[in-house]
Amino acid sequence: MIIKYDKNNNPVRVAEVKVNMNAKWRKEMEIEFTKKYGAWWVFTGVPQRHKRKKHWIEQFRKKGV
């Protein structure tokens, strides 16, 4: 991670990620991590959104993310 500063000398963090993290990448990582670590998502604290009813606010969420 590179830390740059704006005109007011406030730190601005810029991540050097050379991977396009889109839906295809997420699916590939899910398959790879499942093979490597098993049920890794159970311990991450991230809820599984595909198994529950969507809330009203999620209608405004960007598709594919």
Is residue 12 a part of any domain in this protein?
no
Other beta carbons within 10 Å of 31: 10
User: Which residues constitute the domain of residue 40?
Assistant: 20-46
pLDDT score of 3: 76
pTM above 0.75, yes or no: no
- Average pLDDT score over residue span 14-23: 80
The count of domains in the chain is: 1
pLDDT-derived band at 65, boundaries 50, 70, 90: low
Q: What is the phi/psi pair of residue 24, to 5°?
A: -65, -45
Closest CA to 65 of 27, 32, 29, 37: 27
The CA-CA-CA angle for residues 1, 5, 17, to 5°, reads 25
Tens digits of residue pLDDT in 22-55: 899 889 988 888 888 777 666 666 666 666 677 7
Is residue 38 a part of any domain in this protein?
yes
Is residue 63 a part of any domain in this protein?
no
CA atoms within 13 A on the CB side of 63: 0
What does the alpha-carbon distance between residue 65 and residue 43 come to, in Å, rounded to a whole number? 21
pLDDT-derived band at 4, boundaries 50, 70, 90: confident
